[in-house]
């Protein structure tokens, strides 16, 4: 690799990292505001995602190509997981709502790792925009906030065209989506529907959150923890 190529790659990575932080901050401001507003109006045990179901599932990871530098995304694996499908605001079923999908995996050290996704678009820009849907998988879902990785900011996404089967994908910045796993969702209830998934306390190994994202998310999740007496 020439010095010019190295400089070009460095500049590209720096730009991607800046875009990731900007997207994180923008999405965080919107979601953080939503948490605070809904929490003030509805000081319940779960201010957001009050309605949903908790079921079992199976996550089969075949790995990402090209690799991201994150073992959870790059390496194959097969494990049982806990899944929660929910409606963020809790509006009655016929009305559109921000749909949520939470997946709890087990980290190599045995600790829980939570992935939270919400209904958005799937394009280069609207993947960072919350979008309501009448049904759980009526819209694609993303983590909304990029994670930091050795290859730059990355986003996780989910789509389902087949009942009970969810395709999980990863994208670097605004780049193309690459499928890395399939999630099979059971119809059997597997726990308390009010169980709380917390991506701040329960991070998936290797998926590092930007400090700006943590600062924006923590107050909202701290309020949610207080509301349920945690």
Domain membership of residue 228 (yes or no) is no
Distance, in Å, from the CA atom of 9 to the CA atom of 4, rounded to the nearest integer, reads 9
What are 93-133's pLDDT values in tens digits? 789 999 999 999 999 999 999 999 999 999 999 999 999 99
Task: Look at the chain and report how many structural domains it folds into.
Answer: 1
Domain membership of residue 162 (yes or no) is yes
How far does CA 84 lie from the centroid of its chain? Answer: 12
In this prediction, what percent of the chain has a pLDDT beyond 90?
57
Element (H, E) at 154: strand 154-162
Domain membership of residue 91 (yes or no) is yes
| pLDDT at residue 49 tops 70 | no
- pLDDT at position 51, please? 67
- pLDDT at position 68, please? 96
Reduce the secondary structure of 31-91 to three states and give it as a string.
Answer: HHHHHHHHHHHCCCCCCCCCEEEEEEEEEEECCCCCCCCCHHHHCCEEEEEEEEEEECCCC
Residue 163 three-state SS: coil
Domain membership of residue 20 (yes or no) is no
Q: Is 5 left (phi over 0), alpha (psi -120 to 50) or beta?
A: alpha
**Where in the sequence is the domain holding 67, given as residue range(s)?**
49-209
The CATH number covering residue 113 comes to 2.40.180.10
Domain membership of residue 30 (yes or no) is no
Domain membership of residue 131 (yes or no) is yes
Domain membership of residue 16 (yes or no) is no
Average pLDDT over residues 59-63: 97
Supply the Cα-derived Rg of the chain in whole angstroms.
17
Domain membership of residue 13 (yes or no) is no
Mean pLDDT rounded to a whole number for the chain:
81
- pLDDT at position 184, please? 98
């Amino acid at each position: 690799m020439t010095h010019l190529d190295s400089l070009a790659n460095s500049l590209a990575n720096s730009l991607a990292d800046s875009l990731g932080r900007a997207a994180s901050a923008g999405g965080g401001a919107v979601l953080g505001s939503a948490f605070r507003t809904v929490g003030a109006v509805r000081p319940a045990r779960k201010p957001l995602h009050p309605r949903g179901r908790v079921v079992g599932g199976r996550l089969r990871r075949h790995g990402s190509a090209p690799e991201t530098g994150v073992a959870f995304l790059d390496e194959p694996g097969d494990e049982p997981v806990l899944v929660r499908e929910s409606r963020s605001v809790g509006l009655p079923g016929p009305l559109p709502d921000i749909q949520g999908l939470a997946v709890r995996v087990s980290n190599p050290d045995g600790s829980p790792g939570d992935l939270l996704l919400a209904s958005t678009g799937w394009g280069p820009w609207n993947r960072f925009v919350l979008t309501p849907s009448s049904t759980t998988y009526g819209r694609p879902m993303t983590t909304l906030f990029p994670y930091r990785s050795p290859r730059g900011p990355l986003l996780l996404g989910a789509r389902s065209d087949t009942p009970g089967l969810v395709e999980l994908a990863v994208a670097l910045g605004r780049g193309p989506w690459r499928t890395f796993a399939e999630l099979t969702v059971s119809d059997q209830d597997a726990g308390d529907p009010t169980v709380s998934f917390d991506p701040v306390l329960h991070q998936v190994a290797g998926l590092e959150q930007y400090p700006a994202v943590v600062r924006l998310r923590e107050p909202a999740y701290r309020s949610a923890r207080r509301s349920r007496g945690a």
